Amino acid sequence: MLDFHGIIFAYRTTPALGELVSKRTAASLPFCGRYRLIDFALSSLMNAGIRDVGIILQRDYQSLLDHIGSGKVWDMSRKSGGLRILPPFGLPEYHTGNYSGTMEALIAVDEYIRDIPQKHVVLMLGDLAANIDLAPVLEQHVRSGVPITAICSDQLPNGPHHRYLPGADGLVDGALFYRDGDAEGVPSLEAYIVDKDLLVEMIDGSDARNLHRFHKDAIAYYLENGGKMGCYVHKGYAQVVRSVEAYNRCNMDMLDPAKRRQLFPAERPVRTKTHEGVSTYYGVNAVSRNSLVADNCIIEGEIENCIVFSGVRIGEGARLKNCILMRGTEVGAHARLNHVIADKECAFSVGTELTGSEKLPVVVPKGMKI
């Protein structure tokens, strides 16, 4: 039995995601025609044999609960252990805002963490699009003997991020926090393998000092006081989704077969809740170029560079480019859409014209009729 326990941070939602997260957390965002972002963290843990997992939530999580259910899809529905939902039961009654940092989120579930029977804890983001092969990371962590290992990336992330400076011995020599663009070291994926005893020590220390940031407070304090940290570099696609632009770019990246293979390798399947439906129907005059289309759609118009979820209807003569259409969206005949992200169950009337840009796509809220 593996001596590892998983913790997924699914509470965080950044304002830059706008209407996309008005009624859901970032971890629940639909992705690539059939998935949710949290599927990658759950599947990475599942593929590594980790079945005891806690998901930290705070607000607007009904959509996420509907998606993950009991965790059966990821073989985490167990009588003992398995998947656990962790609401903010550890905060004082007067706390009504968002978590001010990851350490505060951990403090809120302090009792749960202390009761974890495993020796090591895997910390992962719920809004990270990355299929991480955790097996070699776990092996390296145990073999190295250091109490914490940072999982980093060989690719440049979207937006501000943290970076670690690995030394010749494989241990971290230093850290650079909140960097934007390329710089020295390797970018952190904000995923860690940490010994439970050290995690509890970090929680107690941060709580005592009233410091709530995981990196600039807990990690910085740990490294400054002689703490040792390992570093593992994940090779392959990896992006955190924290803005509308990043969400749009990550979805469009999946139209590239090479990037899609990195995120969905056959040897590490990504599981998700499925919606059973009939095959998609293409009309006589329908055209589909470089697009990903789910089942149960009716396509009678033209689509190019589009991500189309299940249950979408596109009328005859409609032309769509660079669009993301979530489940149940309907596009009327002869409509013209370019760089549009339509949330679930939107409707565009006959002849509608709507145009955004790659960096500023038009986001149509859930259920909107235009």
Q: Please state the pTM of the whole predicted model.
A: 0.94
Question: Both tokens of residue 65?
Answer: 């609960």
Kindly indicate the confidence band of residue 97, based on its pLDDT and cuts at 50, 70 and 90: low
- Please check whether residues 247 and 330 belong to one and the same domain: no
Residue 101's alpha-carbon distances to 91, 104, 168, 269, 296, in angstroms, are 13, 5, 32, 31, 41
What's the mean pLDDT in 102-111?
Answer: 90
Least confident of 29-33, 85-89, 252-256: 85-89
Asked, for residue 274, whether it belongs to a domain, the answer is: no
Q: Are 312 and 328 in contact (CB under 8 A)?
A: yes
- Please check whether residues 60 and 207 belong to one and the same domain: yes
More confident residue, 15 or 327: 327
DSSP letter assigned to residue 74: G
- For the four alpha carbons of 260, 9, 57 and 115, in that order, the dihedral sign comes to positive
Helix (H) or strand (E) holding 337: strand 336-338
Give the pLDDT score at 94.
41
- Please check whether residues 234 and 167 belong to one and the same domain: yes
More confident residue, 250 or 78: 250
- Please check whether residues 255 and 311 belong to one and the same domain: no
Give the pLDDT score at 91.
54
- Please check whether residues 140 and 101 belong to one and the same domain: yes
Give the pLDDT score at 169.
87
- Please check whether residues 317 and 169 belong to one and the same domain: no
Asked, for residue 268, whether it belongs to a domain, the answer is: no
Question: Both tokens of residue 285?
Answer: 């005059």
The count of structural domains within the chain is: 2
Q: Which residues, 6 or more positions from 204, have their beta carbon under 8 angstroms from its beta carbon?
A: none
Asked, for residue 273, whether it belongs to a domain, the answer is: no
Give the pLDDT score at 87.
84
Question: Both tokens of residue 21?
Answer: 């997260």
What's at 153, amino acid-wise?
Answer: S
Least confident of 126-140, 269-283, 295-309: 269-283
At residue 95, does pLDDT exceed 70? no
- Average confidence score pLDDT of the chain: 93
- Please check whether residues 237 and 342 belong to one and the same domain: no
The 10s digit of each residue's pLDDT in 319-362 is: 999 999 999 999 999 999 999 999 999 999 999 999 999 999 99
Give the pLDDT score at 55.
96
Out of 206, 237, 263, a domain closes at 263
Q: In terms of residue numbers, what domain contains 324?
A: 281-364
Report the C-alpha gap between 140 and 118 in whole angstroms.
17
What's the mean pLDDT in 175-191?
Answer: 91
Q: What is the CATH number of the domain that holds 153?
A: 3.90.550.10
Asked, for residue 114, whether it belongs to a domain, the answer is: yes
% of the chain at pLDDT higher than 70:
97
Report the C-alpha gap between 251 and 237 in whole angstroms.
12
Give the pLDDT score at 10.
93
- Please check whether residues 119 and 29 belong to one and the same domain: yes
* One-letter-per-residue 3-state SS of 29-84: CEECCCEECHHHHHHHHHHCCCCCEEEECCCCCHHHHHHHCCCHHHCCCCCCCCEE
Report the C-alpha gap between 336 and 321 in whole angstroms.
8
Give the pLDDT score at 220.
93
